[in-house]
Structure 1
């Protein structure tokens, strides 16, 4: 993929933690030249062309593999001498976001088809520097990500990006060994720059008279052989300790529209700025300091009750620190973060803020889908779902773009549906599965088990066996979405090895019993009932066997699945509801417990253990009595009939699917508004839970876009593989709805409105599509041209 470049790194630092390296190419061109820079790296990089931001990467890849990006330089060129500068952070720590692999950078500039500069190429080399401004010995950002960002700025700190200036003496470099390279495949982000909408408040702070104990998250206190980083006694500074010991002493809350105006802050002063919604990207400020100063940026998705920013709310260190000599600076953080509110604190000296922004880092294709209805609340929820997806699916399906940026299974099952609906393609999903297919094995995990999130390091050996089963369910849906058949075939050994692993845990009844590691049902009381035989897990296991049997034509898997379903039904149904668990008593006899959970009922219904025809009273109660709308302010809190309440994920998401199956669209849309409406209004994104103690921007929550396409608009199902489309008009209480579902062959466009007793609709589909239309609306269908 590279014509001349070789992977290199400053000598002796390949395995050193948190090293910032800069490489620079100088070449002559003119504004008519065609030019690109080809680059990959470990761990992360960003590219500047003549001082202008050009790109960030690379796209995620599995252990031992690296995806290559190509950034077009033509828009940034000037006549004469031009500069391409690449900054690379080599982290060398295990995490869920970047892999613990030796640092390197491999890059080349191609000008008019010829190589103008290449790393490791002596005739046209890149200059190589160790960048001194980034503080190396700092705390981890979170358990799931690498390091916080702390800087030491002096005059001309970034001059090397646009001139022959040297940020430090040129570094001797060493070859980093040949790398296994992969194409990027997924789209390149657009990096739109967003300004704040308002300065909410300014105020003063001082050391707190009664500070809380220092924050000692596992990312700080848990450093050791299994979790790499710098120990507390090795740190140059601990920003969370300093900021945590401060308290605001007064606020001036005269909110003012932000229009780029200068904001002067003295020592121990702070300002809070607000963006119009939750954003993910690179936080930037432009500022001047008249003397030696220290500036801290803290940020979060929401404000505290007293209108402040809690930089530790999410269990990660949302802080950027800069120590500055007198001068003017432009600081744009290297890593993407998630925020709606930004707090600027002057710890020492002074600061005149002259600019502020977030450069977005988001999926570029999520705006291809469209949805609009007669209900403004649903429209806002759809846009929040779109926003949530685009921030959580840049090049991998992430749980959240903030604390973790990790590609979790199960979450990916739901997000992958949304990619197909909003973008018309499944390219992120293709990369997702390729990442699982390529490694020879997964370190620290039992043979056959799949990582619960990947690409990620799992040095502690923890895995979620349930999530590996969701992998199989998603893989079958990937096929129906027109997924790469070669890739699906390549994953067959992974799937067969997974089921061989589970064979070791089947008891005399054929049920899985006493599974290893973290058996996870959802964040509710159900997770307390996972020992022994967990019936929800066995329901999922049966569904995964059935899916694999269909996918690969393995009839034995399907027979096992049918037998498992029958056995689970026999053991778990107590005549009223399904119980969660069976355990051995003190005599070694199997005891069916009376532990019953709401989510356990959803598992039973969703995976076909029982349905509305077999158990009508049970199913009617499930649909009627267990709605989260029963207590809109605190859903998932009411214990009904000794049945522990569910939580959002995955309980409510399974519930939405069940309501859709039953055609209860009016009830479903009412529940969607009650649950998601406040999220869309408050952050413009959808949350991990119904409350704000966790992520307010979580990838799986974007699945509500699929719900609205299906249960509001009426696009019940679309198979890209079979080329079939089913439209079902429901009695869903809407007066009108329209939408566009993109496909590789063209857009599916549907719009309808109710007039009197008629439902007037217009449908446009790509050629070659078989369409079935069903009317359950109670109105007479009137097609329009």
Structure 2
């Protein structure tokens, strides 16, 4: 898609650094009257737009290797306007990164007036550029799979280029294969101020070894890169060898909640700020230093057990000469707590610290509330977790990786539709994967995480993550009705299916070499996975059947049924009969025989049921419901491996919802999530025992709350229908809303527990229809909808 009239891709000529190049570009506009100006911007890896020295945008939306998405920014401007763009092109020898493709740097920018007339364009006259050497290029990385930390050497004149420009002219850069439209919305960059100073302390060395696994893993995975980092550019380990100590200096607080002046005493000094809950964005503050100062900005979503914010790999270091600076981190941070450490002999003044919001711009038009305050807290945290992990793509977590992981996205995408009423991020997300070259990826599969890079082409990582992408594609069609997009994906999907079917062995099941994943637990062990994973084959059978329906491929559906028959033949009497997750192939006298292994897990069981197996086995299902999960009613079998949150428990929650087991769901949600909220980050974690984290797949819990408690099911844009199936349980009332392309849907109900009356009010957009499924628990109740009584016996039926 051609997005530009005149602009061409450019970069800086003869950069000093081979890896991690930072470049600035500048032009000047003169507008006689106020004009709404449009900026079309494409860049690698990331850019930041400044207008008259003020930050105006940060991007771009990420895209597949070889492609660039175009951000479109509109601003009213008048007079002389200084336009500057800061760009970062990240790279390292290992070429391993989960949040960008690490392709060579480039910038394409075109500025037009309301009539489409080009006012300025890269590749044309009027642009200057320069290498931004005040940011160090050879420094440590934020994690094993991200780019480098921020390490600056600044003077008060370092940012003058944003207003004055350079003397060097940009040079042509290689054009992308194509420019793509950005569908995902833009972050607001609104200021989220820290409400006040939490504490002031000294920073003193401690005789302790760093325990941050991020730091250790980064060095192991990126050995070549770490071998190139000069000793003077390493500082993360020293931060982790320090701790808080009683304050020995002097301080003076300015306007309450706005500023503070600090003079360190015997040691470096630190100032703490905190937000009520976690946010994601750019740290923003003004600092004035009397003498040369080293400023470390340390941020996190949690404190340690001692209440300290320890040094971590997401810190930003600024070496400042005397003067005043307005600082914005270039990298977004996951922030609830911030500690500013100053190393200087002079006075340091901080003013107005804040976070500039770099998340999905949700207006909270879709809501949920009920008479159970704990459920409301869980829903709010699921919404926040979704918002912090959604922007241009669905991210698994907003800081350690910021990667578009498959499987995570299957559940996060449901959250985006149900809690945001938006499909734009999902369409961009899926499109990125569909643009991958099947001939350069193992067996035509899809990368486990994308856009990213994983060394040599071909290594897709976790094989069965591609199955989740295919199931998400099928769900996307139901959500959107977007047949044109589905048909555009067909060739890539068919090439993938060729690769899948080539993996069928003599057993008749998929015999997949390489990495597989069921759950962060015993389920991922060799004993449970090898030589053939039954749960993964169950997932594959469901995927083939769904894809067969989507693309009218009867052969795929026949293969799915053949595999189902083989898997059903492995079962010999239910969950307590010794059937494990793995299948063993025995070849006796030329006869191929399959039998299950002995390693059984809850997550494997959940995935098999989720994929459509064992549903007729009442004892199997009863024991799954009552003897598994976070707080089982019955004594769990010690020989069955327990589930972790990612992804076994989330699959379990979905199965319980399908079975109509709402009371069990509520009990397990409270058992799991209220403890995570007690820890205090305000978001949900990756694992049951995690001490911190913010992982987007937990958004699906918010969906299930709306579907199972309120009864407002997922909206089907294709058929313009919505399932209504409330489960009041012990609640007295609930209300909520959802958004589709045709407008808003509102549902509220009140439950008279004594008289057994449920009174619902439902408002649908024109052309939409409700499909009622009155649950078993409401048998014998009077059910009213908009003043009319429903006879539950004549509706679609109840869930037994």
What TM-score comes out, normalization by structure 2 length?
A: 0.90
CA contact (8 A) 2:382 2:701 kept: yes
Give SS of 1:479's match.
helix
SS at match of 1:33: strand
Change in 2 beyond 3 A, CA 1:186/1:41? same
Tell me by how many angstroms 1:224 deviates: 5.5
Aligned CA distance change for structure 1 residues 348 and 64 (closer, same or farther; 3 Å): same
Decide whether the 8 Å contact of 1:137 with 1:236 is kept in 2: no
Cα distance in 2 for residues equivalent to 1:448 and 1:178: 26
Listed one character per residue, the Cα deviations across residues 593-648 of structure 1 (whole Å, up to 9, x for unaligned) are 2111111111121111111xx211121111112131349xxxx9x96241110111
Secondary structure of the equivalent of 2:309? coil
How much has 1:576 moved relative to structure 2? 3.3
Show the counterpart of 1:302.
302
The match for 2:531 is 532
CA, structure 1 residues 211+575, in 2 after alignment: closer, same or farther (shift >3 Å)?
closer
Q: Match of 2:80? A: 81
Deviations 1:46-80 (A, max 9, x none): 11111222111110110111011121121xx3x53
Asked if the contact 1:62/1:439 (under 8 Å) is kept, the reply is yes
Q: Which residue of 2 aligns with 1:382?
A: 379
Assess, with a 3 A threshold, how the Cα gap between structure 1 residues 374 and 575 changes in structure 2: closer, same or farther. closer
For residue 341 of structure 1, the aligned residue among 337, 341, 364 is 337
Aligned pair in 2 of structure 1 residues 294, 686: CA closer, same or farther (>3 Å)? same
State whether residues 221 and 232 of structure 1, in contact with CA within 8 Å, keep that contact through their aligned partners in structure 2. Answer: no
Residue 453 of structure 2 aligns to a residue in which SS? coil
1:251 CA displacement: 6.3
Correspondence for 1:368: 365
1:395-424 Cα deviation digits (max 9, x unpaired)? 101101110111111111111111111222
Q: How does 1:161-172 map to 2 (within 5 A)?
A: 161=162, 163-164=163-164, 166=165, 170-172=167-169
**Is the partner of 1:308 in helix, strand or coil?**
coil
Contact 1:387 1:685 in 2 (8 A): yes
Instruction: Measure the CA separation in 1 of the matches of 2:321 and 2:439.
Output: 47
- Work out whether residues 663 and 729 of structure 2, in 8 Å CA contact, stay in contact via their aligned partners in 1: yes
Structure 2 distance, partners of 1:690, 1:546, is 32
1:476 alignment partner in structure 2: 474
Deviation at 1:480, TM superposition (A): 0.3
Secondary structure of 2:538 counterpart:
helix
| Correspondence for 1:672 | 669
The answer on whether the counterparts of 1:623 and 1:659 sit within 8 Å (CA) in structure 2 is yes
Q: Specify which of 630, 646, 652 is matched with residue 649 of structure 2.
A: 652
Match for residue 504 of structure 2? 506
Alignment CA distance shift 1:685-1:30 (3 Å):
farther
Q: Call closer, same or farther: CA 1:645–1:366 in 2, change over 3 Å.
A: farther
Query: 1:602 aligned to 2:606?
Result: yes
Match of 1:109 in 2: 111
For residues 40 and 520 of structure 1, the distance between their equivalents in structure 2, rounded to whole angstroms, comes to: 35
The residue aligned with 2:153 is 152
Distance 1:212 1:189, change over 3 A: closer
Whole-Å separation in 2 of the counterparts to 1:270 and 1:51: 29
C-alpha distance in 2, partners of 1:559/1:630? 38
Q: 5 Å matches for 1:359-758? A: 359-365=356-362, 367-441=364-438, 443=440, 445-459=441-455, 461-513=459-511, 515-528=512-525, 529-573=528-572, 575-577=574-576, 578-583=579-584, 592-611=596-615, 614-630=616-632, 640-681=637-678, 682-693=680-691, 696-755=693-752, 756-757=754-755, 758=757
Aligned partners of 2:204, 2:124: CA distance in 1, in Å?
A: 54
The superposition leaves residues 646-665 of structure 1 with CA deviations (integer Å, 9 ceiling, x where unpaired) of 11122111111121112221
Structure 1 residue 239 corresponds to structure 2 residue 240: no
- Contact preservation (8 Å) 1:189, 1:364: yes
**1:287, distance to aligned residue in structure 2 (A):** 0.8
Cα deviation for residue 323 of structure 1 reads 0.1
SS in 1 for 2:129: strand
2:288 aligns to what? Answer: 288
Q: Is the contact between residue 25 and residue 85 of structure 2 (CA under 8 Å) also seen in structure 1? A: yes
What is the deviation of 1:572? Answer: 4.3
Correspondence for 2:128: 127
Deviations 1:294-344 (A, max 9, x none): 0101111110011111344xxxx1110000000111111011121211111
- How much has 1:117 moved relative to structure 2? 2.1
Query: Mapping of 1:8-157 within 5 angstroms?
Result: 8-13=10-15, 16-29=18-31, 32-74=34-76, 77=77, 79-93=78-92, 94=95, 95-113=97-115, 114-122=117-125, 125-157=126-158
Tell me the alpha carbon deviations over residues 346-375 of structure 1, each in whole angstroms, 9 at most, x when there is no partner. Answer: 133442212211101111236231111111
Work out the number of aligned pairs and report it.
757
Note if contact 1:98-1:456 (Cα within 8 Å) is conserved in structure 2.
yes
Q: Secondary structure at the match of 1:34?
A: strand
Q: What is the CA-CA distance between 1:15 and the residue it aligns to?
A: 8.3
Asked if residue 202 in structure 1 is aligned to residue 200 in structure 2, the reply is yes
Hey, what's the Cα distance between the residues in 1 that align with 2:16 and 2:380?
Answer: 44
- Report deviation, 1:586: 11
> Could you tell me whether the CA contact under 8 Å between 1:38 and 1:71 is conserved in 2?
yes
SS at match of 1:100: coil
| Contact map agreement 1:287 1:355 (CA 8 A) in 2 | no
> What is the CA-CA distance between 1:28 and the residue it aligns to?
1.6
Q: Is the 8 A contact 2:370 2:735 kept in 1?
A: yes
Greater shift, 561-570 or 491-500, is seen at 491-500
Q: Distance in 2 between matches of 1:14 and 1:727?
A: 62
Change beyond 3 A, Cα 1:201–1:383: same
Q: Aligned equivalents of 1:251 and 1:738: distance in 2? A: 50
Q: Structure 1 residues 557-566 or 329-338, which shifts more?
A: 557-566
Superposed displacement of residue 190, structure 1:
1.2
Whole-angstrom CA distance in 2 between matches of 1:42 and 1:739: 41
With over 3 angstroms needed to count, the CA separation of the structure-2 counterparts of 1:173 and 1:600, relative to structure 1, is same
- Whether contact under 8 Å (1:293, 1:324) holds in the other structure is yes
SS in 1 for 2:443: coil
**In structure 2, C-alpha distance between the alignment counterparts of 1:275 and 1:258, rounded to whole Å:** 15
Cα distance in 2 for partners of 1:214, 1:392 equals: 23
For residues 689 and 198 of structure 1, the distance between their equivalents in structure 2, rounded to whole angstroms, comes to: 32
Query: Where in structure 1 are there 5+ consecutive unaligned residues?
Result: none
**Change in CA separation of 1:586 and 1:625 when aligned onto 2, cut-off 3 Å:** same
C-alpha distance in 1, partners of 2:750/2:261?
A: 50
Could you tell me how far apart the structure 1 residues matched to 2:454 and 2:508 are? 30
Over 3 Å counting, the alpha-carbon distance change for 1:331 and 1:532 in structure 2 is same
Classify the secondary structure of the residue corresponding to 2:726: strand
Q: Is the 8 A contact 2:142 2:314 kept in 1?
A: yes
CA distance in 2, matches of 1:43, 1:339: 23
Separation of aligned partners in 1, 2:652 and 2:785: 32
Q: CA deviation at 1:520?
A: 0.9
Shift of 1:14: 9.9
Instruction: Report the CA distance shift for 1:241/1:347 in structure 2 as closer, same or farther (over 3 A).
Output: farther
